[in-house]
């Protein structure tokens, strides 16, 4: 039940559970991919390729990415990705048919690669893993400076169904404050080039909570985005993390900033709801008249994820695994260099085992954080127990905080609007003690 305290609304963005900071080097002998995948379902896999390169390092960004990659490094990187893809395909074996349901290229900025390199990336994905990129939803992230006509045309031709561009703010002073210098005119022309491709889904990322941002300037960014009638919009609350550009100069989060972000969130949500969008999760909004083409959030919600590249995670039902991870530029460089020198990709090196208890938490977390909520029967069918019996303390507390929708239809566990607004405070409360301890012990580097 409630301990009387309302948790901070912005603790962490739960886009995957367990978080990568809970992964650890796996003790020797590291498990072979062949053993890990042997008994896994392989008929609806997701493919994710991670490109850890950008033109600039934005002040807010703690993603695994580096700047200033010379041509020979991107070539070496794709060479390694090719070797890794071949090793993964071999590990999947021939016993069961291998089929992919979705694909995504993320980063970093995949369109940092040239059109010819993007072509090679598509070839590697198709020839090595067997995915047919034109037959599955394919989402690709891009940025204003790298969304050039030749790259976008290549991606459209190879089957991209969704192009997602980080704009963050249409207000130049805010972009500067977020240490993401960009000209409004360049953003608008990149959006024009994306629309010219005819790729069916355009997603625009915006950030709220930037220094100097007010409701008026937030509205002007929202309206500038809405003018493009994007099929999807992601509204991200600004986080300032250790070792990022902003983390080095900004004071730690305080109550006033929390309140300001909550106000801007509500403002943005209401504006999008008034303009023909539905809310899918705290961050994601979809135009109600746009045909859904793929998963709501390709950021790895399911088991059966094949991640390629050195920042990508892979998921089997029992193990989530990846490579080493860092935020600091020097560390990132050395991890990428080590990846490009790797010859043997047949084992999982860093990861976290997901037992039955963690699988329950993961299911609850990832469905409860969707605006549509979680059908209780689906949970019961999968786990043979009730979520109310498995998580009495957590769900009781959410209820007492007014975070559960009391008017939800029978059999549906759904967040109230306030619960959804507090997704980033509520999610971490569902982390297990051992995941929490591992995350707390993780030393940012
Ligand atoms: C991989 S990036 C998008 C593609 C491309 N690299 C770009 O920046 O244009 C993913 C998105 O996460 C969001 N993001 C990253 N770090 C964030 C932070 N610290 N606070 C809020 N949003 C953040 C940004 O909106 C960003 O566009
Ligand atoms: S926000 Fe995008 S462009 Fe900026 S550093 Fe992060 S991944 Fe790169």
Nearest CA to ligand 2 atom 3: 54
- Helix (H) / strand (E) element for 138: namely strand 138-142
Residue 312: φ, ψ to 5°: -90, 145
Please give the distance, rounded to the nearest whole angstrom, from the Cα atom of residue 345 to the centre of ligand 1.
Answer: 29
Which tens digit of pLDDT belongs to each residue from 246-270?
A: 887 766 668 899 999 999 999 999 9
**Domain annotation for the chain: domains and CATH numbers:** 23-287 (3.20.20.70), 356-441 (1.10.10.920)
Q: What is the pTM of this model?
A: 0.95
CB 47 within 8 A of CB 84: no
Nearest Cα residue to 129 out of 155, 91, 76: 91
Nearest CA to ligand 1 atom 16: 61
Which tens digit of pLDDT belongs to each residue from 231-244?
A: 999 999 999 988 88
Q: What is the mean pLDDT of residues 36-55?
A: 96
d(CA 8, CA 11): 6
- Specify burial of residue 329 (Cβ count, 10 A radius: 0-12, 13-18, 19+): middle
Average pLDDT of the chain? 93
Please give the distance, rounded to the nearest whole angstrom, from the Cα atom of residue 81 to the centre of ligand 1.
Answer: 23
Please give the distance, rounded to the nearest whole angstrom, from the Cα atom of residue 15 to the centre of ligand 1.
Answer: 13
Which tens digit of pLDDT belongs to each residue from 346-357?
A: 999 999 999 999
Which tens digit of pLDDT belongs to each residue from 392-407?
A: 999 999 999 999 999 9
Q: What is the mean pLDDT of residues 4-25?
A: 88
């Amino acid at each position: 039940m409630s301990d009387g305290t309302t948790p901070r609304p912005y603790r962490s963005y739960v886009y995957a559970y367990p978080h990568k900071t809970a992964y650890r080097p796996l003790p020797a002998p590291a498990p072979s991919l062949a053993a890990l995948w042997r008994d896994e379902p392989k008929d609806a896999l997701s493919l994710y390729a991670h490109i850890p390169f950008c033109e600039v390092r934005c002040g807010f960004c703690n993603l695994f990415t580096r700047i200033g990659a010379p041509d020979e490094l991107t070539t070496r990187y794709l060479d390694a990705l090719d070797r890794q893809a071949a090793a993964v395909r071999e590990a999947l074996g021939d016993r069961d048919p291998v089929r992919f349901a979705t694909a995504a290229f993320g980063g970093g900025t995949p369109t940092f690669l040239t059109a010819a390199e993007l072509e090679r990336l598509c070839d590697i994905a198709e020839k090595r893993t067997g995915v047919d990129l034109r037959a599955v939803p394919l989402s690709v992230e891009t940025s204003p400076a790298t969304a050039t006509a030749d790259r976008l045309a290549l991606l459209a031709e190879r089957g991209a169904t969704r192009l997602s561009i980080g704009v963050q703010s249409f207000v130049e002073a805010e972009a500067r404050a977020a240490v993401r210098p960009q000209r409004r005119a360049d953003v608008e022309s990149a959006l024009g080039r994306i629309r010219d491709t005819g790729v069916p889904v355009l997603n625009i990322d915006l950030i709220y909570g930037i220094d100097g941002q007010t409701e008026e300037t937030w509205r002007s960014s929202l309206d500038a985005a809405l003018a493009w009638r994007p099929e999807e919009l992601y509204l991200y609350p600004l986080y300032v993390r250790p070792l990022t550009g902003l983390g080095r100069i900004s004071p730690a989060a305080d109550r006033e900033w929390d309140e300001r972000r909550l106000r801007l969130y509500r403002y943005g949500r209401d504006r999008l709801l008034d303009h023909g969008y539905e809310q899918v999760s705290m961050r994601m909004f979809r135009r109600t008249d746009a045909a859904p083409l793929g998963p709501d959030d390709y950021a790895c919600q399911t088991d059966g994820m094949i991640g390629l590249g050195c920042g990508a995670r892979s998921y089997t039902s029992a193990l989530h695994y990846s490579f080493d991870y860092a935020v600091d530029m020097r560390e990132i460089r050395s991890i990428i260099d080590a990846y490009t020198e790797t010859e043997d990709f047949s084992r999982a090196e860093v990861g976290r085992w997901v037992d039955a208890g963690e699988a329950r938490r993961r299911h609850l977390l990832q469905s409860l954080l969707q605006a549509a909520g979680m059908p209780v029967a689906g949970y019961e069918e999968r786990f043979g127990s009730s979520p109310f019996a498995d998580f009495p303390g957590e769900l009781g507390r959410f209820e007492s905080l007014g975070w559960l929708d009391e008017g939800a239809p029978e059999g549906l566990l759904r967040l109230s609007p306030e619960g959804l607004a507090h997704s980033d405070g509520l999610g971490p409360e569902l982390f297990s003690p051992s995941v929490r301890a591992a995350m707390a012990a993780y030393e940012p580097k």
